[in-house]
Amino acid sequence: MSFTEISELCRAFAASHFEELELDSATLSVRLVKKAISPRQTLPVTATTQSARLLLPAAAPSPVIESPGIGSFLPFHPARRYDVYGQERTITAGETVGFIQIGFLLFPVISHSDGVIQEVLVKPGTTVDYGAALFKLRCQGAIE
């Protein structure tokens, strides 16, 4: 892979919605990781009366797990075809619940909250778009 190709890969990665990219071959190993930019610190705002304070509710976690990109949906890693997946599987925040495959590349689908998978919305091998709903999630503590 030439320097020009690597620089094009870096530009494409920077413009993508992916957080990490890793390529390994016999002659080359490339790993790209996006670092989150920390938000600017704001000055604390104090209220003079109790009624002047506004308490905002915490953002509720999304009830679906979405695709991080365009590609073929795989509910498990190809080397581990017997992994458990599907309905009633308990997952934790940060857990890999599937993969999006683009050619030889695999991009993890990561849960952003704890919960139980209620429904798998996409069949394995289906081509999905960025942001497509893959799993319907029942968040921990949710009452139905």
pLDDT at 143: 46
Query: Where in the chain do CATH 2.40.50.100 domains reside?
Result: 61-139
Per-residue pLDDT tens over the stretch 35-76: 655 455 555 555 555 544 555 455 555 589 999 999 999 988
Residue count (the chain): 144
Q: Are 88 and 60 in contact (CB under 8 A)?
A: no
Residue with tokens 């990219």: 21
pTM of the model: 0.54
Region 61-139: CATH code: 2.40.50.100
Per-residue pLDDT tens over the stretch 80-102: 766 666 677 888 888 888 999 99
**pLDDT mean over 98-109:** 91
Phi, psi of 107 (to 5 degrees): -115, 130
Per-residue pLDDT tens over the stretch 39-50: 555 555 555 555
